[in-house]
Amino acid sequence: MLALPFPAIDPVLLEIGPFAIRWYALAYVAGLLIGWRYARFLVERDRLWGAVPRPSLLQLDDFLLWATFGVIFGGRLGYILFYNLNHYIANPADMLFVWQGGMAFHGGFLGVTLAMILFSRNKPFSLLSLADIISVVATIGIFFGRIANFINGELFGRVTDMPWAFVFPAGGPEPRHPSQLYEALLEGLVPFAVLNLLIFRFAALRCPGRVTGLFVMGYGTARLISELFRMPDAHIGFLSGGFTMGMVLSLPMIAAGVALLVWTGIRRPAESR
């Protein structure tokens, strides 16, 4: 079968003695910083918000630290609980070795959600308005994260004879779907474009929760599609009925997103101004 050669990109960008800068870590840094700058861009556009209270620039600056902790601790804890609990029970010290890999989006999602709930308490803006901003910028971080997964040659796809398949160093001799790139597109670029269209063309930020609902439902749906091409974690494999852990964790997101969209759609107009 034909296959594209996997690009020989060293996962370590720079190494000085015991200190190493990895593309994966840079993806998190880029996602947080670029997302923070884009969040400030959205907040500064008065016409997008109408009379809806929104975070100030200073409050967004403060939330950057909260978001960072939510992503890191939530992502790590999610991976431990959802994907490899037995290993970490047997080797508890490994929980601290974040640089060795092992982060879960669904855990990071819950971590940032908790950070938003705590941060927005007693603030003049609603939790949903903050969530709408974070939903848009989260797609930036997802995009960079999936590109880093591709560079690392991890989370690769199932065997295929498609002409754009790659032979991944850790995936054996068979050509495989570049599922990381599928996810970068479906979970990152596409929702970023769609959400911004809703914001700038249809003033979606004037109805708090609508952008969040679409993001949550859209991510869950995109992840379900991506999981059809992605290999499940080797130590978990396929679950009953051919499902994967990623599918199982995405189904509640779809349900929550749909519920939030329905709720924002039936509110009185005065509540969304």
The pLDDT score that the predictor gives to residue 269 is 44
Residue 95: domain span: 12-272
- CA-closest candidate to residue 103, choices 74, 76, 80, 124: 76
Beta bridge partners of 22: 12
The pLDDT score that the predictor gives to residue 198 is 96
Residue 226 has pLDDT above 90, yes or no: yes
Residue 267 has pLDDT above 90, yes or no: no
Helix (H) or strand (E) holding 186: none
Percent of the chain with pLDDT over 70: 95
- Summarised one tens digit per residue, pLDDT across range 165-180 is 999 999 999 999 999 9
- SS3 string of 225-243? HHHCCECCCCCCCCCHHHC
- Summarised one tens digit per residue, pLDDT across range 91-142 is 888 787 766 667 888 899 999 999 999 999 999 999 999 999 999 999 999 9
- Summarised one tens digit per residue, pLDDT across range 4-13 is 889 988 888 8
Q: Indicate whether 1 belongs to any domain.
A: no
More confident residue, 57 or 265: 57
The pLDDT score that the predictor gives to residue 242 is 87
**Number of domains observed in the structure of the chain:** 1
Q: Give the contacts of 264 (CB within 8 A, at least 6 positions apart).
A: 207, 208, 209, 210, 213, 272
Q: Indicate whether 261 belongs to any domain.
A: yes
Q: Indicate whether 3 belongs to any domain.
A: no
Mean pLDDT of the 85-92 span: 82
Residue 79 has pLDDT above 90, yes or no: no
Q: Indicate whether 5 belongs to any domain.
A: no
Mean pLDDT of the 144-170 span: 94
Q: Indicate whether 2 belongs to any domain.
A: no
Residue 86 banded pLDDT, cuts 50, 70, 90 = confident
Do residues 199 and 135 make contact, with C-beta atoms less than 8 angstroms apart? no
Q: Indicate whether 6 belongs to any domain.
A: no
Exposed/middle/buried for 48, CB within 10 Å: 0-12, 13-18, 19+?
A: middle
Task: Mean pLDDT check: name the lowest of 17-26, 110-119, 194-203, 249-258.
Answer: 17-26
Exposed/middle/buried for 150, CB within 10 Å: 0-12, 13-18, 19+?
A: buried
